Structure 1
Amino acid sequence: MTRRCTRRGFIATGVASAVSLAGCVADAREPPVDIRGAMYLPSRAMNSFQMWHTYERGVTQRDMGFAARLNLNALRTWLSYEAWHKDQDSFGRAVDHLLRTAESHGIRVMLGIFEGVGRPPVPKNLYDTDPWTGTSVWSPGKRVMRNPDRWGRPTQFAKWVMDRYGDDERVLAIEVMNEPGWRPWKKRFAREMFRVVRDVRGSVPLTVGATSLANVADYYDWGIDIAQFHYNYPNTQDIYRGVLEQAKKLQRSAGMPVWLTEWQRIADFGWGQQNVPPAKRGPQYASLVPPIRESGVGNFFWSLMLKPAYMLSQRKRGILNGVFHEDGSVWSMEDARAIKSMSGDSSFSGRQRKEWPEWAQKAKRRA
């Protein structure tokens, strides 16, 4: 794909203004249209550092098999600057194994380089595996992102990723950063890292994880090849249909794919209410599959594996995400069949178990 950055940009969507761009050309493979994906972190990894620092090949092989049972063709996951910094060779072998295993199941992977969501990557947060206190972490930390004099090492990491995976057919896209959001210091860091990656780019399309459709316009003039947005908890299907229609308009006007890279369920689980049954705050992907399937928008649900919510604030409210228990049973047969139906096949057999993972329950009893 050759995308000239002087095209019309973000117009006629009602969610973003037109962007005036200098003439530039970004070359990348044409991203596929049919994307049926999931966010992936192993069940017991509270952040991406834990996923890579204690990488378990058997867990990856098992979990890729679960993804194949849903007819998924894509996964989204994040790398870890901190794990790379600790042991580059071990980290590289782990990433290669995940990509090789995913490919054996017909799955391509979107790799994220940096993470803008979470808490400081201090040892306490990096290593805490308790499902009630462990947390997602910024990668790199705030002190690094705010100080350009400390960007040298993250730049080396970004170049290492591009040198190793920038032309890898197994890689669906490279997400330079997840949710730089609205804070100026995060956006400055993310923009510079995107420039670094773009200057050494290969054929793999480049993207940035946007918090919303409105946020996407901030990244268009950076030279992205794929626009992505997140919308996890709408109040109704009609609201979701409206947003997905805006995404399709944006796709037409910007001339690039627009993917919904985080979605979960209708938000009817009673935020702030007392005595809400645990099952009520569990997954309910079937509530959003109809509008997503109708739209045809490429999408990734959060998440493949059943686990306490990624965000600590949501976890404390009892929110659970995911489809598969570690033993291969599912939280909801309705959810599994609905997700698989986006491939044109809604058949799914297995065992349903609407229970919190035992390892998480034990940790809660100890707390």
Structure 2
Amino acid sequence: MSKRITSTFLIFSTFLTLLCSCQSGNTSIDTELPRGIWTAEEANAWQAEQGWLVGPNYTPATAINQLEMWQEETFDPETIDEELGWAADLGMNTARVYLHDLPYEEDSTGFITRIDHFLRLADKHGIRPLLVFFDSCWDPFPAAGKQRAPQPHVHNSGWVQSPGQHVLKDSTQYPRLQRYVKGIVTHFANDKRILGWDIWNEPDNMTGPSYEAVEIKDKVDYVLPLLEQAFAWARAADPSQPLTSGIWAGDWSTHAGLKPIEKLQIEQSDIISFHNYDAPEDFEKRIQQLQRYNKPLWCTEYMARPNGSTFEGFLPIAKKYDVAMFNWGFVDGKTQTIYPWDSWTKTYTDEPTLWFHDIFRGDGSPYKQEEVELIKSMLKSE
């Protein structure tokens, strides 16, 4: 009996010693909790060190979607290197880039190696990317392997959602999504080459006429809790970079009037991000509405010329309010985003007179020289 008492006493004493050591910082045992959501003060202090952030939503011209960009067989560092050089020549210093869960499931080590290769190329050109984990837009049925050829003259005819519909509806697959998010953020949590993490692109997007016939009607009911979990997974890896997810449609005039998913996006984001493809007046109104959160603002999608969303209309306003800007598209290629969204319902047989997105042709020549000169003049002065 005395031996048991002695043993119990020794165990209890050891526990107290470890506890005291942890509290005094004299041990290597990690007892720190992951950081919380950045306060407005923390977010603004971080943003003050970044300068004005401007860049494209970037996919190489040789990739129809995220899978073709990142899978080993079609990863194209030569094209990426060349095209990011064109971005740097404009004075751009960032790019928003989509990842996908399937390459991580197929080969997590290889995927991380390719991300690191991409980061080396981006860093070479002074570009720090914002990496996107999930996306609710376009095709709900992604499949690894060889991707289909572009449908002629159709905007984003091969872009795919992440996670796909079958995974979204199957909670037994959520642990692998957790491994994907935590694995990548943990690996790059202190990598200064990365600007930040965009957790989910347009999470409540129902795909419009492109895939609405096969989209699940209660999609948001699945996405909302998973989005909250995804923020928690990323934050659990204790990243030094900010987290965000951009609101993109609806009435933002009051916080109370936001949809539940928009409230979650705003409340969980270290930096507030949003999309706007409307006229400059609406863009400025949206900025003014979101200023109530007293956090830095990033416009992570804009620039649809026929809509009035242009570089000449938006960049001066963004600079006035110090809003980071990520235009959609960069080089005309397999995504075919020079064509408008209505190319899913309207037939096009040739290049549109007015491009919808993108800045350069495949050979690097500008679509509009005056546009390129404007971007350079605004960014070279930074």
TM-score band, normalised by the shorter chain? 0.7 to 0.9
CA–CA distance in structure 2, aligned partners of residues 257 and 76 of structure 1 = 17
Q: Describe the SS at the equivalent of 1:129.
A: coil
> Structure 1 or 2: larger helix share?
2
Matched, 1:302 2:331: no
User: Aligned residue for 2:125?
Assistant: 105
State the distance in 1 between where 2:337 and 2:102 align.
Answer: 22
Give the distance between the partners of 2:45 and 2:180, measured in 1 at CA: 23
Deviations 1:305-337 (A, max 9, x none): 224229994444556421112211010112112
Structure 2: gaps of 5 or more residues: 1-33, 206-219, 253-257, 349-354
Query: Following TM superposition, by how much is the alpha carbon of 1:208 offset from its aligned partner in structure 2, in angstroms?
Result: 1.3
Q: Give the counterpart letter for 1:329 in structure 2.
A: S
RMSD of aligned residue pairs (Cα, Å) = 3.2
What residue identity is the alignment partner of 1:298?
Answer: A
- Runs of 5+ unmatched residues, structure 1: 10-24, 270-282, 347-367
Q: How does 1:195-344 map to 2 (within 5 A)?
A: 195-212=232-249, 214=252, 216-222=262-268, 224-232=269-277, 234=278, 236-247=279-290, 249-250=291-292, 254-268=293-307, 285-307=311-333, 308-309=336-337, 313-316=341-344, 317=346, 320-344=356-380
Q: Which moved more, 1:122-131 or 1:53-62?
A: 122-131
Q: CA deviation at 1:210?
A: 2.3
- TM-superposition CA deviations, 1:318-363 (whole Å, max 9, x none): 56421112211010112112222331459xxxxxxxxxxxxxxxxx
Q: How many residues align?
A: 309
- SS of 1:329's equivalent in the other structure is coil
1:256–1:33 distance in 2 versus 1, CA, 3 Å: farther
The one-letter code of the counterpart of 1:79 is L
Contact 1:80 1:139 in 2 (8 A): yes
SS, match of residue 343 in structure 1 = helix
Contact 1:40 1:77 in 2 (8 A): yes
What letter matches 1:178 in structure 2?
N
1:153 aligns with 2:167: no
Tell me if the contact between 1:171 and 1:204 (Cα under 8 Å) persists in the aligned partners.
yes
Pick the structure with more strand per residue: 1
Alpha-carbon offset, residue 185 of structure 1: 1.3
Task: Please give the alpha-carbon distance, in whole angstroms, between the structure 2 residues aligned to 1:38 and 1:297.
Answer: 14
Alpha-carbon distance change, 202 to 239 in structure 1, aligned in 2, over 3 angstroms: closer
- Please tell me the residue identity of whatever aligns with 2:245: V
TM-score (norm 1): 0.75
Equivalent AA in structure 2 for residue 210 of structure 1: I
More divergent stretch after superposition (98-107 vs 177-186): 177-186
Amino acid at match of 1:237: P
Q: Are the aligned partners of 1:39 and 1:300 in contact in 2 as well (CA < 8 Å)?
A: yes
User: How much has 1:29 moved relative to structure 2?
Assistant: 8.3
Return the letter of the residue paired with 2:221: P
Letter in 2 for 1:241: E
Q: Which has the larger radius of gyration?
A: 2
Q: 1:122 to 1:245 in 2, by over 3 A?
A: closer
